[in-house]
Amino acid sequence: MPEQDHEAKTTLRIKRWQKSSLKKKKERAEHVMLVDLERNDLGRVSTYGSVKVNEFMAIEKYSHVMHIVSNVQGELRDECDAVDVMRAVFPGGTITGAPKVRTMEIIEELEPTRRGLYTGSIGWFGFNQDMHFNIVIRTAYCTEGKAFMQSGAGIVIDSVPKHEYKESIKKAYAVKKKALQLSKEETILS
């Protein structure tokens, strides 16, 4: 019975979050900006008029956060290939926002350390022009006996710094929790 209660409470919490997030002007404005940016990026390599948003503002739940998600797709122009697509969409608009180039310049000026793998990409190109890539977030990497990870949040004109900071900490917590769990398992196995 307690498991059913927990499940019901979780479902209720998700529904409340969906309603409140989709009503928040800041969340909607940020998401619409990102969708427009991706439509623009894909439009650079897609046939005219083929770029479509076939899923808009759906909610996806993860272990410690929920996200508003949209799906943008287009039909690739004959003269373009998978590498052209990567050039058109990278770095991802969810990382830079708009205007993309100026934002990257500001990041370079303000951030005290280089991002390394964080907000980069991992993926593959197939011989048949298929490709699958991600944007590296919520990821830890280890070097010289130390683990590193970075976290961030989307900043727009309506952002409340305290809320964005809390969001960054919440995102980082999931990775930290998993890293600690894995390190305990490693200790037990050794």
Point out the residues that are catalytic: 67, 94, 118, 138, 154
Contacts of 88 (CB under 8 A, 6+ apart): 41, 42, 44, 45
Strand-pairing partners, residue 190, are none
Q: How far is CA 103 from the centre of its chain?
A: 17
Q: Tokens 């180039």 appear where? A: 101
Residue 119 in contact with residue 95, Cβ under 8 Å?
yes
